[in-house]
Structure 1
Amino acid sequence: MRVYLTITLLILAVSAYAQNCTQLLNQAEDNYEAGRLLGIPDQIEGCLLNKGFSAEEEVRARKLLTLVYIFTDQEARSEQAMINLLKTDPEHRLDPQVDPAELFFLYDQYRTKPIFRISFKVGLNTSNVVQIEEYATHNTLVHDNFYNGSTSSGAGDYTVDSDSSASDFDGLSTRDFNLWGEILAQKEVYEGVDINAGIQYRTSSYNVDTYINQENLNSSITNSQTYLRLPIGASYTLWSDNRDRVLLPYGFLGASFDYLLKASSIGSRAGGTAYTSSDIDLIATNQVNRINYSFMGGIGLKIRFKTHFFTVEGRYDTSRMNYINGNDRYTNSEYTFDVGYVEPALSLDFLSVSLGYTLSIYNPKKL
């Protein structure tokens, strides 16, 4: 019971103190309007030190102090008061109908934009396989591979007239979606133009259906990757200087250094003697290249939230080097003979979507 009573008394005391600070601020503003400036700092500084104001009241109080110091010719204090105002309310906006020219003159001497921004993104990606050169265990020129359910030409099935069965070969697998996350540091270098760099963690996979020499003798394989990526890029945001706009579309281009942390494959063969492989470590068997680089581009939408942003984004990444190490593609006997599959030369592209949050970092100072 005593604990509840103590808490209640504390709440009442805090509420009374806040009400008293509100009254003091109103009186100080009345004094300013009446030209009684000298006593204003003593009226409100105690409430500022003790956090007695609401967020909106604190902005009013710090702005009032700045005005008082300007008009009492206290230059050093007016400059510090302006910094405190901008720390409390980054990108604080002045009203030409209300605020005096002296305040505008001082305000224009300060950095009011973010020194940089930090962007956090998470999303889904799906792989597109770009086949560079064909390799297979048998009959590769007539039996195309299906990647994620379709051939490189986009077909979901085909018929080989010269095949003895003269029947359809079908893509049996579907497309997978995997997670990725990214942290970027962004710096505005020109109005609306940002450069950025950061780190990305991406998981991905693609599925393959391959027919060895007839429609009832097929293999299905899932190949998975985990990448650590170092992207750099530049973006352009429309209407970035308009702080009244909530929705800000943007586009970006960039490149990335990609390092393969993990690669594995699991496959099965149907027809004849059925077989399912173990989880094959493709890095340990030296069947993939760990170093790659990519180009990327995309569009997005920033949704303004005070001085920060929520983002919705779509992008496309295209790898520029062969994912497969051709020198050792035939060395894994389980892959080559038991599953009945050999990786062709290929590169991986990715279609991605993400949601994100961009945090603006400020450090107001006199320019």
Structure 2
Amino acid sequence: MFKRIIFILVISASFSLQAIAQSQSSCSQTLREAQLTYERGRIDLVPEQLASCLKSGFNKEEKIAAYKLLVNTYLYFNESDKAAEAMTFFLSLNPEYEIDVIADPSEFINLYNSFRTTPVYLLGGKAGSNMTAVNVSKNFSLDDSSIERGKYNFIPGFNVGIALEIPITKKVSAAPEIYFSQKKYQYRDLILGFADLNFEETQTLVELPVFVKYNIGNYGKNNNITPFVNAGGSVSYLLSSEADVLRKDAVSGENQREVSGPSIDLADQRNSINYAAAVGAGVKLKNIIGRGYLIVDFRYTYGLNNIVNPDNRTANTSLVYDYLYVDNDFSINNYSFTVGYLIPKYKPKLLVKKSKK
């Protein structure tokens, strides 16, 4: 019994696939006949020829060709509304169509140019690395604070997030983003002439940068390379901040005494919300992976405010007494390099109503 059921299902599936194949073959023939009908001047017959296969039977490429044929048919009879409707379907299936000034009729080109053919938005993700530079505005120390204290060094961090691009014109876009990022830096100082301090801070943040992006132009063999520049600002929220601290005291000769311990929570000594200005440049690469854009982006972010909470500067007694460390007033500048991928979302729309002749 079970084998009989399996046999019946296989036979039924085979007949179904055969019927679908015959239908597709029939509709392919229908499209060829409709194109010949158009070329022979019996244009009024074209819509009726295509109607049933447009409902069911054409594959995507055949639908694109059929709707383009319908656009030209309706334009021939000055049926502007029907031509615009067919163009909407055509561009929905083929939103990145490029006009052929030699092959496409001028009426088709004029109607195409009356449509919004740029993406409504581009959405995707970005990830990359960053380097943090510390900009000291005022020195504080248990030692002589009238001179510039210590040295700040880069430690690589990372950022990963979601990027949105909203075209305003063909060259100008608004580009809000949201990132989860980690920033690090190292501070080295010799305090009171004997205490060699190594202080490494790690900050984990959520960042909300907003940019205005300007596309310089399209280059390359198929205009697939688009360099851009951007400028804007960013607000960040500090999720956590910790420091790994090591103090080495020179006691006598080569003898040293070390002071170390677990990571120290710095959240209370940092402002939770911080602001920055940013500029950047990069390039969008089309047709590298799928139909989206591969984005390569470099940016510089300049911190606008002191990230240290002055009321809690010396609140952590372990930092002060065990490590002889006191925060300077400083802001954070950041260099970041990201690679991303954005997928365009199209919604063709008639922007200029075509008047009937």
TM-score of the two chains, using structure 2 as the length reference = 0.84
Deviation by residue 1:311-349 (Cα, 9 ceiling, x = unmatched): 111111110111111222111011111233222111111
State the 1:237 CA deviation.
1.3
2:184 partner letter = S
Which runs of 5 or more structure 1 residues have no equivalent in the other structure? Answer: 149-173
1:266 is matched with 244
State the 1:195 CA deviation.
2.8
Secondary structure at the aligned position of 2:44 is classed as coil
Q: Evaluate the alpha carbon distance shift between residue 62 and residue 97 of structure 1 in structure 2; reply closer, same or farther with a 3 A threshold.
A: same
- Checking the alignment, whether the CA contact within 8 Å between 2:244 and 2:264 is kept in structure 1 is yes
Once residues 304 and 204 of structure 1 are traced to their aligned partners in structure 2, the CA distance between those partners, rounded to angstroms, is: 31
- Checking the alignment, whether the CA contact within 8 Å between 2:183 and 2:203 is kept in structure 1 is yes
Kindly indicate whether residue 184 of structure 2 is the aligned counterpart of residue 205 of structure 1: yes
Once residues 180 and 159 of structure 2 are traced to their aligned partners in structure 1, the CA distance between those partners, rounded to angstroms, is: 9
Kindly indicate whether residue 255 of structure 2 is the aligned counterpart of residue 250 of structure 1: no
Secondary structure at the aligned position of 1:314 is classed as strand
1:79 is matched with 84
Once residues 144 and 7 of structure 1 are traced to their aligned partners in structure 2, the CA distance between those partners, rounded to angstroms, is: 80
Once residues 50 and 74 of structure 1 are traced to their aligned partners in structure 2, the CA distance between those partners, rounded to angstroms, is: 24
- Of 220-229 and 2-11, deviating more is 2-11
Once residues 290 and 100 of structure 1 are traced to their aligned partners in structure 2, the CA distance between those partners, rounded to angstroms, is: 61
1:210 partner letter = D
Q: Evaluate the alpha carbon distance shift between residue 81 and residue 268 of structure 1 in structure 2; reply closer, same or farther with a 3 A threshold.
A: same
Q: Evaluate the alpha carbon distance shift between residue 64 and residue 289 of structure 1 in structure 2; reply closer, same or farther with a 3 A threshold.
A: same
Which runs of 5 or more structure 2 residues have no equivalent in the other structure? Answer: 1-5, 250-255, 352-357
Identity, % of aligned positions = 26
Q: Evaluate the alpha carbon distance shift between residue 68 and residue 221 of structure 1 in structure 2; reply closer, same or farther with a 3 A threshold.
A: same
Q: Evaluate the alpha carbon distance shift between residue 270 and residue 49 of structure 1 in structure 2; reply closer, same or farther with a 3 A threshold.
A: farther
Secondary structure at the aligned position of 1:274 is classed as strand
Q: Evaluate the alpha carbon distance shift between residue 318 and residue 38 of structure 1 in structure 2; reply closer, same or farther with a 3 A threshold.
A: same
State the 1:32 CA deviation.
1.0
Deviation by residue 1:241-291 (Cα, 9 ceiling, x = unmatched): 9994111111111111222222222322233653323333222xx211122
Deviation by residue 1:23-63 (Cα, 9 ceiling, x = unmatched): 2211111111112233333333333333631x332211110
1:171 is matched with none
State the 1:132 CA deviation.
1.7
1:299 partner letter = A
Kindly indicate whether residue 269 of structure 2 is the aligned counterpart of residue 290 of structure 1: no
1:138 partner letter = D
2:297 is matched with 313
2:43 is matched with 37
- Checking the alignment, whether the CA contact within 8 Å between 2:218 and 2:225 is kept in structure 1 is no
Secondary structure at the aligned position of 1:324 is classed as coil
1:130 is matched with 135
Once residues 120 and 110 of structure 1 are traced to their aligned partners in structure 2, the CA distance between those partners, rounded to angstroms, is: 29
Q: How many residues align?
A: 337
1:155 is matched with none
1:123 partner letter = G
1:291 partner letter = I
Kindly indicate whether residue 93 of structure 2 is the aligned counterpart of residue 88 of structure 1: yes
Deviation by residue 1:287-318 (Cα, 9 ceiling, x = unmatched): 11122211111110111238642111111111
Higher helix share goes to which structure?
2
2:167 is matched with 187
